[in-house]
Amino acid sequence: MKVPTPDFRLRQVRADHVHRRLAELYPETPVPLDHRDPYTLLVAVLLSAQCTDKRVNLVTPHLWARADTPEKMAKVPVAEIQRIIRPCGLSPQKAKAIAGLSNLLVEKHGGEVPRTFEELEALPGVGHKTASVVMAQAFGVPAFPVDTHIHRLAQRWKLTSGRNVVQTEADLKKLFPREHWNALHLRIIFYGREHCTAHSCDGTTCEICRTLFPARKRAVKTRK
């Protein structure tokens, strides 16, 4: 009996294929940023802005050696934090944010990382994406953090209009089961880094792009 060809003209059919194929390619979803607990994850995610996870993982051991809790970090001068994290870029802003959020965690949250989006996003340097990563990876709360890889691939696969990351997040949440958001957002990141990068694929080259759009001839221009 011949298996019917999926109708990839339909957005949900494309999403279902992406879901299945990424689960096959990446059955395990390790967190890319090395961390010990919710606090060290929070700081690592903050450092990863406009910086590779690989570089963050090289820098954070030096930072943790100096201070690995909010109580300890609150006592470290901002200038010293900045010196340690300089390789991650944007060190003046990131150092101030790390010092500021560490102080607030001590003063308002008993030295613990809060478990709500609202409280996390109220911390210095913590936006919605950072809060989403912490909620998903530290506390297991379903979230769909949208980084540059996810924003780009979702557009190439026509899973979103790509107007902005807020729209992309909303569109992806509608297409994929809530219980798979945490693993799936990591799988898309892994695939984006390995196969569908900004340089190696323009929407016509990688396996998933070719499968979903076999007749596509022109490069896809994605919105940032």
Q: Widest CA span of the chain, in angstroms?
A: 70
CB 50, CB 195: distance < 8 Å: no
Q: Is 197 exposed, middle or buried (0-12, 13-18, 19+ CB in 10 A)?
A: middle
Residues annotated as part of the active site = 129, 147
CB 209, CB 196: distance < 8 Å: yes
Residue 91's φ and ψ, nearest 5 degrees, are -65, -35
Query: H/E element holding 53?
Result: helix 53-66
In 116-150, which positions are buried (b, 16+ CB within 10 angstroms) versus exposed (e)? ebebbeebebbebbbbbbbbbbbeeeebbbbbebb
If you ran DSSP here, which 8-state letter would residue 178 be given? G
Q: How many CA atoms lie within 13 A of 41 on its CB side?
A: 19
Candidates 188, 60, 33, 49; CA nearest to 128 is 49
In the block, tokens 């909620």 appear at 135
Q: How far apart, in whole angstroms, are the C-alpha atoms of residue 188 and residue 154?
A: 9
